[in-house]
């Protein structure tokens, strides 16, 4: 069934905005036309189905002939104990349908025939024997058009994926990244030609890339749109495989842009690939020899199941030996592919857990496989070619288990017990955990923890906090929320949904932001009682704060984040690893203010300016007006005291808003917007060109308008240009909103709006001499102070006071806060209009409203698949944290990019250890002294460690310095009293200690960096 057979439906951009930022419209349309079969509705099948339904395929058909067992509840978030005995597919359909009503979810509870596969673009099998898999795959491989076939399974802490998308599969976009580009500075007349770009940003081209050129002056032969190959790529230059000796001389300008090429992949059918698997996709370079062994192990398990019609029994040495024997025999007959070492211990662990589908493994593989289905249906991103094997054997408890530990207890955790043992399950249940955030990551974590039984015991407790409420755009990946929850608190709804997954979950939901202002809520006792902290945050500052708290209280922190198809995880383990804040990404490069305001050269600059103007005109200025009107004397007094350019600007804006630009009718709002158009896109451009003509030179004699600067052209307003009219409509409606003016019905009629615009009288503009336009890239403000600021401010206040007398009593304005996720509020219409008109001024390619929303709204691209994978990986590490006996080399930090696909796992960086005499410490240590000591006692306590304390601070206040004679008088005072009286510290009643920063020397007067010192006074 071809994709073209389905009518394209409209994309709900409010719902799918974060996903659209990853995939784009074309991929989404292809997804909406795709029918997918998922066979096997245990934990893995449920995770894949969830991710695809959230993504918005056309239909998902669930196939399973088996019935729900209590065993399934270890990994399947859909089933409850009431579903035991029901068909798995039928028991799944209702809850999965709730995730997205636009997707048709249906069931197939009977035996599947290969002919039925022709109804689908992609089929996924999570529990199928190799013989049937080969038969089904052959059918799919040879079908016209080919049907994408994916076979995947998770067995305990082991998993695999096989993909076959047909003999010839075209990938339209191999990595999902925006095409790279550069601004040209020069091109030589050579063979090959050397192209140099401005050093504004590094070039990201690679040898062999194809590029096209545009906007070149002089060497116009390159503007023909023909892709050309580059080589010898450097950060700011490259060679072009082109003879330009007979081309025109390069004069100026030009943009070079990468052309993304489609790639055709040739997949082997499963039968052939089993014997000739090619290169395995590696995930962990410390296990480079593991994939061939697992390739054999999974085939041996398939034969075991065929021979004995069951899985090996957990803890059965006899069954483990049978599996090893089968693997050995298969290996002996494998010819050149024979392995030297079969690793019997690994195969034994594999056999023990083979029947179990663990939730973290299902979550991780559900994310990867869900993404592979998206690739199969859309051609977006590079598919997995063809086998992927993974294990997390390090997650097993460090202490060996007795065979009796594996025995099922007739509970929902039996599958997990068959891998980790019943004692470890108790540890999980009695864990006191803290999940910070309940958005996309938080929802996945709560589901995972509920299924694993974390904090589900009588002594366990899970605290989740999030100060946000649910919005429509959350529903495409925050799967615990439904459309009827919009506007409700995220943490409360997520906690309720998690208890439906596992009613034994001991969960408390809070709506507090975690930060210094809530330390009375999350106090010392709260932190001290925790076993583990899991971050599910979306900003660096909050992560750093939680990191500092975990460091201080020596609690493990499991950190993760996603960006589109990318995800990363970081384990922060007390005394073993470095903390989250130990290594930081460099800050994002910001465009200079003068570039944004006068010399933009890309659409990002235009949108940054547009967002700034929106906030200035519609939020900040009305807020300033209200601040003045609420207390005129206090406001004017503050402006007089400031007496600077900023105060002058504020007063000018307030006076303008209440005097010349005050609107009383909707026609006034139209007039204001039409004049804004003239000011922004015509007058300012004319002034810029007057100040810096096209042939202007810099002080060094170089052309002023050289790359990356683009020479501007003023716009001429026309009511027949729909973009001009749309700009006026959006601006007028928003202006009217700030003044509380009702919007007349005729406003949205283009003909009547055009007539109203034609009534506006636009004054002529004459550029002025001596106007200063900022060109310094290091300038941080466009306001320039002048010697007569005080006199100007006094005059402005006088005019303002006179104007205020004419206002009706109780007059206030209504500031507008930017809200990107409401397509009916005209916010993005106005910002996109501002940005695109400005882009037109500078001949920069314009963007549609959706693209403008991504950039101006600073939308973080997000999809359900990478979120699921990240949380699965974190929960595999959680097993290690709860066990408590693992070494740093057992833990894994991960970076993954599902688009490529790339998985890179590595040991965390160990914490740096400082040594002094027989002492050693790291960033994790905090020295505590009890008994409410005096300053003398504290210094003596440090002296006994061979340390001479010469400076002691509390907060930002110095309590003691050996160079200050008067500080000797403080020696017999209690440290806590010095903190109160000298540092003026207010110590809350719940605080039992205070923290000091102490500078010390050793006997040779070398500075020693010691841990924070906590002085306990209660």
The question of whether 594 is a catalytic residue gets the answer: yes
Q: Are 826 and 730 in contact (CB under 8 A)?
A: yes
Q: Are 657 and 621 in contact (CB under 8 A)?
A: yes
Q: Are strands 181-187 and 255-259 parallel, antiparallel or unpaired?
A: antiparallel
Q: Which of 594, 606, 954, 1000 is catalytic?
A: 594
**Complete DSSP assignment for 650-711:** HHHHHHHHHTTT--SSHHHHHHHHHHHHHIIIIIHHHHHHHHS-TT-B-TTSSBTT-TT---
Q: Rounded to the nearest 10 degrees, what angle do helices 827-841 and 603-615 cross at?
A: 130
Is 214 exposed, middle or buried (CB count within 10 Å of its CB: 0-12, 13-18, 19+)? Answer: middle
Q: What is the three-class DSSP state of 567? A: strand
Q: Are strands 432-436 and 461-465 parallel, antiparallel or unpaired?
A: parallel
Query: Roughly how many angstroms between the first and final C-alpha of the chain, as a whole number?
Result: 75
Q: What is the three-class DSSP state of 1002? A: coil
**Pure H helices in 843-934:** 849-856, 864-883
Q: Are 947 and 1002 in contact (CB under 8 A)?
A: yes
- Alpha carbon distance 120, 59 (integer Å): 9
**Complete DSSP assignment for 541-561:** HHHHHHHHHHHHHT--EEEEE
- Alpha carbon distance 573, 575 (integer Å): 6
Residue 232 CB partners (closer than 8 Å, separation 6+): 207, 238, 239
Q: Rounded to the nearest 10 degrees, what angle do helices 440-452 and 864-883 cross at?
A: 40
Q: Are 981 and 970 in contact (CB under 8 A)?
A: no
Q: Are 894 and 979 in contact (CB under 8 A)?
A: no
Question: Max CA-CA distance within the chain?
Answer: 99
- Alpha carbon distance 40, 92 (integer Å): 11
Distinct helix (H) and strand (E) counts, the chain: 30, 31
Q: Which of 952, 891, 888 shows the shortest CA–CA distance to 922?
A: 888
CA distances from 612 to 345, 616, 848 (A): 62, 6, 19
Report CA Rg, the chain: 33
**Complete DSSP assignment for 62-97:** EE--SB--GGGGGT-SS--GGGTTSBHHHHHHHHHH
Supply 534's token pair: 């899991």
Residues annotated as part of the active site = 594
């Amino acid at each position: 069934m071809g994709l073209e057979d389905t009518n394209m439906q409209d994309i709900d951009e409010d719902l799918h905005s974060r996903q659209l930022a990853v995939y784009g419209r074309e991929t989404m349309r292809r997804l909406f036309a795709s029918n997918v079969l998922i066979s096997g509705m245990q934990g893995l099948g449920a995770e894949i189905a969830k991710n695809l339904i959230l993504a918005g395929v056309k239909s998902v058909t669930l196939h399973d002939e088996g019935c729900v067992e209590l065993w399934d509840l270890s990994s399947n978030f859909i089933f409850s104990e009431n579903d035991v005995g029901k068909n798995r597919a039928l028991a799944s359909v209702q809850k999965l349908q709730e995730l997205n009503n636009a997707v048709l979810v249906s069931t197939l509870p009977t035996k599947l025939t290969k002919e039925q596969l022709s109804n689908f673009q992609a089929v996924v099998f999570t529990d199928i024997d190799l013989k049937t898999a080969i038969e089904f795959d052959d059918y799919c491989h040879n079908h016209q058009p080919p049907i994408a076939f994916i076979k995947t399974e998770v067995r305990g802490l082991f998993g695999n994926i096989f993909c076959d998308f047909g003999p010839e599969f075209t990938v339209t976009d191999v990595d999902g990244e925006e095409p790279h580009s550069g601004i040209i500075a020069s091109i030589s007349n050579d063979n090959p030609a050397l192209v140099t770009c401005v050093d504004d940003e590094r070039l990201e081209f690679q040898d062999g890339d194809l590029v096209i050129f545009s906007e070149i002056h002089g060497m116009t032969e390159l503007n023909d749109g023909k892709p050309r190959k580059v080589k010898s790529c450097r950060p700011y230059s490259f060679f072009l495989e082109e003879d330009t000796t007979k081309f025109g001389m390069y004069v100026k300008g030009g943009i070079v842009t990468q052309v993304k090429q489609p790639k055709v992949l040739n997949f082997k059918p499963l039968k052939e690939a089993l014997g000739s698997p090619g290169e395995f996709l590696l995930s962990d370079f410390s296990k480079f020899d593991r994939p061939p062994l697992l390739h054999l192990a999974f085939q041996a398990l398939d034969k075991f199941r065929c021979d004995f019609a069951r899985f090996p029994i957990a803890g059965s040495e006899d069954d483990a030996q049978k599996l090893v024997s089968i693997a050995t025999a298969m290996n002996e007959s494998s010819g050149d592919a024979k392995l030297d070492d079969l690793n019997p211990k690994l195969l034994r662990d594999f056999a023990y857990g083979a029947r179990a589908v663990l939730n973290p493994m299902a979550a991780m593989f559900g994310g990867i496989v869900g993404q592979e289905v998206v690739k199969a249906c859309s051609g977006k991103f590079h598919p997995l070619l063809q086998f992927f094997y993974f294990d997390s054997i390090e997650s097993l408890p460090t202490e060996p288990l007795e065979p009796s530990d594996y025995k099922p207890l007739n509970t929902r955790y039996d599958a997990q017990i068959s891998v980790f043992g019943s004692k470890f399950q108790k540890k999980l249940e009695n864990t006191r955990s803290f999940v910070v955030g309940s958005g996309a990551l938080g929802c996945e974590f709560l589901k995972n923890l509920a299924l694993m039984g974390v904090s589900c015991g009588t002594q366990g407790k899970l605290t989740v906090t999030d100060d946000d409420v649910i919005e429509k755009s959350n529903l495409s990946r925050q799967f615990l929320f439904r459309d009827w929850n919009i506007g409700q608190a995220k943490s409360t709804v997520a906690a309720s949904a998690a208890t439906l997954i596992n009613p034994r979950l001991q969960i408390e939901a809070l709506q507090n932001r975690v930060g210094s202002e809530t330390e009375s809520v999350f106090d010392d006792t709260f932190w001290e009682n925790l076993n583990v902290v899991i971050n599910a945050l979306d900003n660096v500052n909050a992560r750093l704060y939680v990191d500092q708290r975990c460091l201080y209280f020596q609690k493990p922190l499991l950190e993760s984040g996603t960006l589109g198809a990318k995800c990363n995880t970081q384990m922060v383990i007390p005394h073993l690893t470095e903390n989250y804040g130990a290594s930081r990404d460099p800050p994002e490069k910001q465009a200079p203010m003068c570039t944004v305001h006068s010399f933009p050269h890309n659409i990002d600059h235009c949108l940054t300016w547009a967002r700034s103007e929106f906030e200035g005109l519609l939020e900040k200025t009305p807020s300033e007006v209200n601040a003045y009107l609420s207390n005129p004397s206090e406001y004017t007094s503050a402006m007089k005291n400031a007496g600077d350019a900023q105060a002058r600007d504020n007063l000018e804006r307030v006076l303008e808003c209440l005097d010349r630009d005050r609107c009383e009718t909707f026609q006034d709002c139209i007039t204001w917007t039409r004049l804004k158009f003239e000011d922004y896109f015509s007058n300012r451009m004319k002034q810029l060109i007057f100040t810096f003509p096209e042939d202007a030179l810099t002080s060094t004699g170089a052309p002023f308008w050289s790359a990356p600067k683009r020479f501007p052209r003023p716009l001429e307003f026309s009511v027949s240009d729909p973009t001009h009219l749309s700009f006026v409509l959006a601006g007028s409606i928003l202006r009217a909103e700030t003044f509380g003016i009702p919007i007349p019905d005729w406003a949205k009629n283009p003909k009547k709006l055009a007539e109203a615009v034609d009534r506006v009288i636009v004054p002529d503009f004459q550029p002025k001499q001596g106007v200063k336009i900022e060109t310094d890239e290091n300038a941080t403000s466009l306001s320039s102070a002048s010697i007569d600021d005080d006199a100007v401010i006094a005059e402005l206040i006088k005019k303002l006071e006179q104007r205020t007398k004419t206002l009706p009593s109780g007059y206030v304005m209504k500031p507008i806060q930017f809200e990107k996720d409401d397509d009916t509020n005209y916010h993005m219409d106005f910002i996109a209009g501002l940005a695109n008109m400005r882009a037109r001024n500078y001949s920069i390619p314009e963007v549609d409203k959706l693209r403008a929303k991504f950039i101006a709204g600073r939308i973080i691209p997000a999809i359900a698949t990478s979120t699921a994978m990240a949380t699965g990986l974190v929960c595999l590490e959680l097993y290690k944290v709860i066990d408590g006996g693992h070494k740093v080399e057992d833990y894994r930090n991960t970076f993954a990019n599902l688009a490529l696909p790339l998985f890179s796992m590595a040991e965390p960086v160990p914490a740096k250890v400082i040594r002094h005499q027989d002492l050693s410490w790291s960033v994790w240590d905090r020295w505590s002294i009890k008994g409410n000591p005096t300053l003398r006692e504290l210094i003596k306590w440090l002296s006994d460690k061979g340390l001479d304390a010469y400076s002691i601070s509390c907060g930002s206040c110095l309590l003691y310095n050996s160079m200050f004679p008067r500080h000797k008088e403080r020696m017999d005072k209690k440290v806590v009293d010095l903190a109160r009286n000298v540092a003026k510290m207010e110590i809350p009643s719940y605080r039992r200690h205070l923290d000091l920063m102490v500078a010390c020397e050793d006997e040779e007067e070398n500075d020693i960096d010691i841990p924070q010192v906590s002085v306990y006074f209660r």
